[in-house]
Amino acid sequence: MTRDDAVEEADHETRREGSVAAVEDARRLADERRENGWEAVVVPAVDTAPVPEDADRGYSGFVHVVPESVADAVSAACDRAAFPQYDAYRRQVGGEFFFVVELLDPATETALLIAGTYRSTDAVPLYRQASREGVVRTHLKRLNGERLGSVEHESIEKLFPEGIETLAGRS
């Protein structure tokens, strides 16, 4: 094994551990919601991408690919709930950002808890756009591209890692 292989293996292990921890956090939060009478769906995102505005795509925001095992539950939750509130719990390890986004609809007592990860540097273009617009969006999609739901957030800072202002050239 070369040094580069060892570094790549260590990076992969760090990503795996961070992803597992994020899903465990989402499950714990979902259990707390359920104890209080809420319906809660955990979404261990297959992939998360911070996507800046692109005319070809027609949308921007954090795009989460939902596993088929929970896609129908996510679709049903998005049909009945508006998710006017959200929170985000995050940790950063090196250049990787691990987080749980908790979408909340108190009126229907519905919560979606999305566990995802992305590289901090990949979020810089979306951060710049969100800073200009004052909003950022969360999109949930199936692997085949079918949209399950979208939510707009006015409080953008919860979804971006500490120090992204410096990466974006805004200190």
Per-residue pLDDT tens digits for 64-104? 999 999 999 999 999 999 999 999 998 888 778 899 999 99
Higher pLDDT among residues 161 and 126, named by residue? 126
- Nearest in space to 62 (alpha carbons), one of 72, 53, 51: 51
What is the pTM assigned to this prediction? 0.87
Which parts of 69-120 are beta strand (E)? 85-93, 96-105, 110-119
- Give per-residue pLDDT as tens, 102-120: 999 999 999 999 999 998 8
Predicted confidence (pLDDT) at residue 7 exceeds the cutoff of 60: no
Q: What average pLDDT does range 139-146 have in this prediction? A: 95
Q: Buried b / exposed e across 48-77, counting CB within 10 Å, b at 16+?
A: bbbbbeeeeeeebbbbbbbeeebbebbbeb
When comparing pLDDT for 129 and 93, which is higher?
129
